[in-house]
Structure 1
Amino acid sequence: MANEHSTPIDPASRRFAALRGAERLLSGPRPRSVAERLAELSGEAGHAAYDLDGRPDVYCDGIVAALEQSVAGLLGMEAAAFFPTGTMAQQVALRCWTERTGNPLVAMHPLAHPEVHERHAYAQLSGLRSVWPTQEPRLPNADEVEGCAEPFGTLMLELPLRDAGFVLPSWEELTDAVAAARERDAVVHFDGARLWETTAHFGRTLPEIADLADSVYVSFYKTLGGVSGAAVAGPAEFVAQAKAWRHRYGGQLWQQWPAALAALIGLEQELPRLDAYVAHAKVVAKALAAVPGSRVHPGVPQTHQFQYWLPYAADALNETTLRQAEETRQALFSGWRAAPVPGHSFTEITVAAPALEWSPEEIEDALGQFLKMLR
């Protein structure tokens, strides 16, 4: 119990210690310290991903160029450009297409990442405007793209649409929406921050999915466990243009080898495991949904991530999550937020390697314990 002379515990530090100290985690990878991340980069995984005896990169050559070539190959694109952040990558991609089409209007979803999480950088930095073909909690369909009232030059589709619950269209719906954009002489850009885990749902390879778009953005830390960074892939001429804007936006750093090496490790180790994560997400979701009053969204996860809703306040759920981790060394959840429905909160479940160890019965037992502690 803290007294008047004790130092308050930083909430982020408490969460890190609780989850890192847990023997079993259901959602997300185990948090790692700075020392652990350095050991990973310099250890066996790093040596398997890249020649660590070579020189560091200088202004995006060396290991960064190798990563770019690897990503282009994985997506079946002519070229790729590395960016230190996804926000920068998205803005550059949209800006480049605007320069080529002469049209500053971008069709996107109101829950798309540039609308919700990037402080409207596309408008503030590049003078672009957005139009919403639909406000439904899903990606726009072909009829909505075709019937959009304004003549957009670029259609941006986020695959999956994270803030709607990591939802995806069917393959037919996706191809029809892309075709509708082409009929309007628009280019198509995929916000594929989490594109890596969509192959099981679509039943297609990464090159087949990427081939639908004129350009694709991918992230290296959201699914692959990297330190940071992203890439934009597309035609060689377009990528050369993107690299010019990368320099102008301050993204051509002197050295970025830690982020590039972590990305290569993720492509080497995590990418082959994603189908197993996606399959087990369905098992995890079914076990969690057994609680009366709970909600899994979508009902059957389409990737290895989904939303889980409970009818309790977020503060109480967050405190119980940490208490369970600290007292039992089992952690089911990460952070909780208030849901749009009054009296409910939700968390995002990420099924990664630690979750594969959990059986449905073990999940139900731990969840029962969680709810008992909560009440």
Structure 2
Amino acid sequence: MIDLRSDTCSRPSSAMREAMAWAEVGDDVYGDDPTVRALEDRTARLLGKEDAVFMPSGTMTNQVGIRVHTEPGDAVLFEQSAHVYLLEGGAPSAYSGVLPRLLPGTRGIFTAEAVHAAVGSPHPFFPSTVPAPVRLLCVENTHNNGGGTVWPLEDIEAVAAAGRERSLALHLDGARLWHASAFSGVDEAAYAAPFDTVSVCFSKALGAPVGSCLAGPADLIARARRFKQQIGGGFRQAGIVAAGALHALEHHRERLNETHAHARWFAEGVAAFEGIDLDPLAVQTNIVRFRLTNGRAAAFVEEMHRRGVHALPAGPHEVRAVFCLDIGEEETRGAIDVVARTLAEPN
């Protein structure tokens, strides 16, 4: 089976398994797991932040990131198709009790003007206690539902400046920030610089089996550690999984352009088929989304699966394919062939 459901479906390499097997461990709840601390320190330095905290998932780092900046009843600005809004189980409302306010975007990217419009201009005649106060602005880079779109640095800086002007805290969902840097040549610290907190994932993109980090100022990360524990994120001998993440951080970032190349090759291949709507030039990183001009995505991916390729429906007529480090030339060629055969013989 060629698995294109997500880059989280990658398997640990032999070298990564070796690093995990011999990892030095302690008890993370007590703060004395040396491998966890090494991962947190390395991540904080890469992102240009004072500290970082290791957690089981990117959902947890995003949601704790929201919680450290807000109180129940606050409003948070999200792009309308943001992962943290659409694909994290309703956690902003359920966990932090915040009100999502949605910004219009193009492939996940919105403008400074949209931020100003969402916050609005209060008038002294209108009671300030009536609307939910907007406290936080969230940005996603790369943008999953946008098809792995990379924010240009100048656009990031513009929306961050608008947020600061409106006294908002800033959080970056950088689950695939590594891909943004590999594509653009902008290092992760430059992308992270405008934000108070940054979430990065090791099991997406980098191929580790488990984990994400939330990075930021020391005081906010200390507050984040409280919420991590509160929602059951306290690890014990977590150095075993942290070693996998640390190995990925040190050895896999340089390989990410391989996944970009395979995604573009796949996109160019399937875009040539009648019945598919896809602009290959829009594929920047490792995520390919294409639209079926005839037929429904649910039936299409089921038939692809029967023929040996596992992908996901991404809407009534859209299919998503994500390329990870385990997908090479043979798998990419095979996936293109399966799409062709599924179009020619749908069932």
- Give the length in aligned residue pairs: 332
Task: Check if 1:235 corresponds to 2:208.
Answer: no
The amino acid that maps onto 2:307 is Q
CA distance in 2, matches of 1:96, 1:28: 29
1:171 is matched with 153
1:322 is matched with 305
- With over 3 angstroms needed to count, the CA separation of the structure-2 counterparts of 1:30 and 1:153, relative to structure 1, is closer
Give 3-state SS (helix, strand or coil) of 1:348's partner. strand
- 5+ residue gaps, structure 1: 1-18, 326-330
Q: Do the aligned residues in 2 keep the contact of 1:89 with 1:230 (CA within 8 Å)? A: yes
Q: 1:339 aligns with which of 293, 315, 323?
A: 315
Higher RCO structure, 1 or 2 (CA under 8 Å, sep 6+): 2
The alpha-carbon deviation at position 299 of structure 1 amounts to 4.3
The alpha-carbon deviation at position 254 of structure 1 amounts to 2.1
1:125 is matched with 95
The alpha-carbon deviation at position 56 of structure 1 amounts to 4.6
2:16 is matched with 45
Task: Check if 1:199 corresponds to 2:175.
Answer: no
1:211 is matched with 193
Q: Do the aligned residues in 1 keep the contact of 2:307 with 2:338 (CA within 8 Å)? A: no
Higher mean alpha-carbon deviation, 271-280 vs 292-301, is at: 292-301
Q: 2:245 aligns with which of 247, 263, 274?
A: 263
Give 3-state SS (helix, strand or coil) of 2:282's partner. coil
Task: Check if 1:162 corresponds to 2:134.
Answer: no
TM-score, normalising length from structure 2?
Answer: 0.83
Q: 1:349 aligns with which of 313, 317, 322?
A: 322
The alpha-carbon deviation at position 180 of structure 1 amounts to 1.1
Give 3-state SS (helix, strand or coil) of 2:278's partner. strand
The amino acid that maps onto 1:350 is F
- With over 3 angstroms needed to count, the CA separation of the structure-2 counterparts of 1:226 and 1:274, relative to structure 1, is same
- With over 3 angstroms needed to count, the CA separation of the structure-2 counterparts of 1:242 and 1:53, relative to structure 1, is closer
- With over 3 angstroms needed to count, the CA separation of the structure-2 counterparts of 1:183 and 1:30, relative to structure 1, is closer
Give 3-state SS (helix, strand or coil) of 2:65's partner. helix
- 5+ residue gaps, structure 2: 121-132
1:140 is matched with 110
Q: Do the aligned residues in 2 keep the contact of 1:217 with 1:231 (CA within 8 Å)? A: yes
The alpha-carbon deviation at position 50 of structure 1 amounts to 6.6
- With over 3 angstroms needed to count, the CA separation of the structure-2 counterparts of 1:106 and 1:365, relative to structure 1, is closer
1:104 is matched with 74
- With over 3 angstroms needed to count, the CA separation of the structure-2 counterparts of 1:228 and 1:294, relative to structure 1, is same
Task: Check if 1:303 corresponds to 2:285.
Answer: yes
Task: Check if 1:312 corresponds to 2:288.
Answer: no
Task: Check if 1:80 corresponds to 2:52.
Answer: yes
Q: Do the aligned residues in 2 keep the contact of 1:27 with 1:349 (CA within 8 Å)? A: yes
Give 3-state SS (helix, strand or coil) of 1:354's partner. coil
The alpha-carbon deviation at position 242 of structure 1 amounts to 0.9
Q: Do the aligned residues in 1 keep the contact of 2:7 with 2:205 (CA within 8 Å)? A: no
The alpha-carbon deviation at position 126 of structure 1 amounts to 2.1
The alpha-carbon deviation at position 272 of structure 1 amounts to 1.4
- With over 3 angstroms needed to count, the CA separation of the structure-2 counterparts of 1:155 and 1:297, relative to structure 1, is farther
Q: Do the aligned residues in 2 keep the contact of 1:278 with 1:351 (CA within 8 Å)? A: no
Higher mean alpha-carbon deviation, 201-210 vs 191-200, is at: 201-210
- With over 3 angstroms needed to count, the CA separation of the structure-2 counterparts of 1:290 and 1:363, relative to structure 1, is farther
The alpha-carbon deviation at position 357 of structure 1 amounts to 4.6
The alpha-carbon deviation at position 114 of structure 1 amounts to 2.9
CA distance in 1, matches of 2:311, 2:172: 28
C-alpha RMSD over aligned residues: 3.0
Q: 2:63 aligns with which of 62, 76, 91?
A: 91
Q: Do the aligned residues in 2 keep the contact of 1:26 with 1:358 (CA within 8 Å)? A: no
1:66 is matched with 38
- With over 3 angstroms needed to count, the CA separation of the structure-2 counterparts of 1:90 and 1:29, relative to structure 1, is closer
The alpha-carbon deviation at position 133 of structure 1 amounts to 2.7
TM-score, normalising length from structure 1?
Answer: 0.78
Q: Do the aligned residues in 1 keep the contact of 2:300 with 2:342 (CA within 8 Å)? A: no
- With over 3 angstroms needed to count, the CA separation of the structure-2 counterparts of 1:212 and 1:371, relative to structure 1, is same
The alpha-carbon deviation at position 157 of structure 1 amounts to 0.5
